[in-house]
C-alpha cells in the first residue's frame, strides 16, 4: 500500500512558552520544535503497514522552513519521500484551509490510505484529518486506537476510542483517512543508517498553483478564523504557592494538609 502521513511540527510540550510581541502567536525564536505527538504514532502505524504490504510511505507537512527537520526525521525513520507545503501562501490557515491544501497535495500522490494524528498539540483543532477526508470524498475515523488492514486491502477494521474507557469497533472501506490517537503502538527510533539514507531522499515543494489552488483558498487568506490575541489564561484564584527548598516545601505542605485542609 502507498500511504500518506500528515505530520505537523509543533513546539515541544516541555518548552516554556512566551507570547510574541504582536500578541498573535508564541515567540518562535529559540523555541524547540518536534513532530506532533499523535503524528509520531501515525507515522509508526504507516511504516508498519507499508512493511507488511511492500508499500511505501509519503510524509506531507505544511509549515515554514523549519519543518524540513521534521520531514528529515520521518525520512530517517523509513518514509521514502516527502512533500513540503512551504510557500508563504499556505501558512497561517485554520483546519479547513490547511485540510484543503493537504488534501490537494495528497490527491496527486495516488495513495491507498491517509494517516494523520488526532489532534495537534499547538492549535488542537482535532479536525484537519477529517477535513482532508471530506475533500477526498473518503470515509474517516478520528481517535483511532487500533487499525487492521483486512484481507485484500479494500477494507480496514478500526478501533476507535470513546469516552470513559470504551472502544468502538467498525469496518471502513478503503481508501480512507485514519486519524491516529497517541498510544496505538510504540514508535521506533531512527537508526544511523536511516539518518544517512534520509539525506538522499527527495522532498518535493509544490506551489499552490502546482496543486491547482488559488492563494485565496488557503492559508490565512482562505481561513474563516482569525486569531485576535493569544494570552496566558487568567487562572482565577490559583494555587497557594509554597516557598523554599524541597525539604521546606515538603514540611510546609504536610503541615497544611494536616491543619488547614485536614486531608492527611
Ligand X SMILES: Nc1ncnc2c1ncn2[C@@H]1O[C@H](COP(=O)(O)O)[C@@H](O)[C@H]1O
Q: Which of residues 16-75 bind another protein (CB under 8 A)?
A: 16-17, 19, 26, 37, 41
Binding mask 225-244 for another protein (x = CB under 8 A): xxxxxxxxx-xx-xxxxx--
Candidates 114-122, 193-201, 226-234, 237-245: pick the segment binding ligand X (CB under 6 A): 114-122
**Measured distance CA(189)–CA(212) in Å, rounded:** 36
Across 16-150, the runs of DSSP E, i.e. the strands, are 33-35, 56-62, 81-85, 113-117, 140-149
Residue 10 β-bridge partners: 34
77: its cell numbers: 525513520
Which one of residues 2, 11, 31, 195 is an interface residue with another protein (CB under 8 A)?
Answer: 11
Q: At 33, which helix (H) or strand (E)?
A: strand 33-35
26: its cell numbers: 508564541
Residue 133: Cβ within 10 Å count: 23
Residue whose cell numbers read 525539604: 247
Which one of residues 141, 147, 213, 218 is an interface residue with another protein (CB under 8 A)?
Answer: 141
Binds 62, which of another protein, ligand FAD, ligand X, none (CB < 5 to 8 A, cut-off by type)? ligand X
Per the CB < 8 A criterion, the answer to whether 132 and 22 are in contact is no
Cα-Cα-Cα-Cα torsion 57, 63, 66, 70, nearest 10 degrees, comes to -20
Rule CB under 8 A: is residue 123 a binding residue for another protein? yes
Which one of residues 57, 79, 143, 178 is an interface residue with ligand FAD (CB under 6 A)?
Answer: 143
Candidates 2-10, 18-26, 106-114, 202-210: pick the segment binding ligand X (CB under 6 A): 2-10
Provide, rounded to whole angstroms, the least separation between the CB of residue 154 and ligand FAD: 29
Rule CB under 8 A: is residue 151 a binding residue for another protein? no
Provide, rounded to whole angstroms, the least separation between the CB of residue 29 and another protein: 16
**Measured distance CA(41)–CA(145) in Å, rounded:** 10
Provide, rounded to whole angstroms, the least separation between the CB of residue 124 and another protein: 6
Rule CB under 6 A: is residue 8 a binding residue for ligand X? yes
36: its cell numbers: 506532533
Q: What angle, rounded to 10 degrees, do the helices at 95-107 and 128-136 form?
A: 50
**Could you say which residues in the range 104-133 bind ligand FAD, by CB under 6 A?**
118-119
Residues contributing to the site for ligand X (CB under 6 A): 6-8, 36, 38-39, 61-63, 95, 98, 102, 116-117, 119-120, 123-129
Amino acid at each position: 500500500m502507498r500511504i500518506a502521513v500528515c505530520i505537523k511540527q509543533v513546539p515541544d510540550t516541555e518548552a516554556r512558552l512566551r507570547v510574541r510581541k504582536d500578541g498573535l502567536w508564541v515567540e518562535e525564536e529559540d523555541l524547540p520544535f518536534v513532530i506532533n505527538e499523535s503524528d509520531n504514532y501515525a507515522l509508526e502505524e504507516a511504516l508498519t503497514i507499508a512493511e507488511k504490504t511492500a508499500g511505501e510511505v509519503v510524509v506531507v507537512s505544511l509549515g515554514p522552513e523549519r519543518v524540513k527537520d521534521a520531514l528529515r526525521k520521518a525520512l530517517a525513520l523509513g518514509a521514502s519521500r516527502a512533500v513540503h507545503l512551504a510557500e508563504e501562501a499556505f501558512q497561517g490557515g485554520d483546519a479547513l484551509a490547511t485540510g484543503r491544501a493537504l488534501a490537494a497535495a495528497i490527491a496527486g500522490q495516488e495513495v491507498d490510505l491517509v494517516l494523520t494524528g488526532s489532534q495537534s498539540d499547538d492549535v488542537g483543532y482535532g479536525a484537519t484529518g477529517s477535513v482532508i477526508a471530506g475533500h477526498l470524498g473518503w470515509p474517516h475515523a478520528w481517535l483511532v486506537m487500533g487499525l487492521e488492514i483486512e484481507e485484500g486491502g479494500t477494507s480496514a477494521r478500526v478501533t476507535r476510542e470513546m469516552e470513559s474507557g470504551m472502544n468502538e469497533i467498525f469496518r471502513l472501506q478503503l481508501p480512507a483517512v485514519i486519524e491516529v490517537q497517541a498510544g496505538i503502538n510504540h514508535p521506533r527510533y531512527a537508526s544511523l543508517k536511516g539518518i544517512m539514507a534520509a539525506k538522499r531522499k527527495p522532498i518535493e515543494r509544490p506551489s499552490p498553483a502546482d496543486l491547482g489552488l488559488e492563494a485565496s483558498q488557503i492559508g490565512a487568506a482562505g481561513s474563516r478564523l482569525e486569531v485576535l490575541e493569544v494570552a496566558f489564561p487568567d487562572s482565577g484564584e490559583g494555587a497557594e504557592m509554597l516557598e523554599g527548598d524541597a525539604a521546606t516545601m515538603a514540611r510546609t505542605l504536610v503541615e497544611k494538609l494536616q491543619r488547614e485542609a485536614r486531608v492527611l
